[in-house]
Amino acid sequence: MFALFDSIFGLPGHPLLVHAAVVLVPLAAIGTIVMAFWPAARNRIGWITAVMGVVGFFFAYFAKQSGEALLETVRVTAAVNTHAEMGDQGVIGAFLVGGSACSLMLFDQFVKERAKRDLPELSVTRPLRTLIGVFAVVLSIFGSVLVINVGHSGAKATWENKDTAPTVTYNGD
């Protein structure tokens, strides 16, 4: 799509961006699960977790874009093709995790704002909080699994057989 992160400091950008996504997305998922089960955690780690999820999503997106550019410079094997085809799954997974964290925090913020204005709690608040929490947990686990699977397939494509591992012939910045 675009060559924004094809290279970073003269190195192919894909491996660097991938590592940020593979670290941030599962960490955001863990934070989201903690917030869903322990409401007091929302005050401490809520917005940090939501930001981590959103940043992880952007890293996953940029990793996918830079991976498409890197695909043109490596020896393409079946494992590399499999990994390249899984790229969209990583972006979707990161979106699910970031969206789950943001949903929990936005709903929590809505409830807090109503309480600040001395408005009564709505009858659907507790069931809705539970429902959002359950969905957040399920989507965070599912999204993390997607991101980790994409990362694992990339590691396998690179390191499974060192004799047939893709070699970079990159002539970047």
Q: Tell me if 141 sits within 8 A of 101, measured CB to CB.
A: no
Judge contact between 164 and 42, C-beta under 8 A: no
Cα 69 to Cα 8: distance, rounded to the nearest angstrom: 13
Residue in the structure block whose two tokens are 């047939």: 164
Whole-angstrom distance, CA of residue 173 vs CA of residue 170: 9
Q: How confident is the chain (173 residues) per 10-residue block, as mean pLDDT?
A: 64 84 96 93 94 96 87 80 88 97 95 89 88 96 95 84 59 58
The string over 17-53, giving b where at least 16 C-beta atoms fall within 10 Å of a residue's C-beta and e elsewhere, is: bbebbbebbbbbbbbbbbbbeeeebbeebbeebbbbb
Domain positions in the chain: 7-158
Instruction: Name the residue with tokens 């070699």.
Output: 167
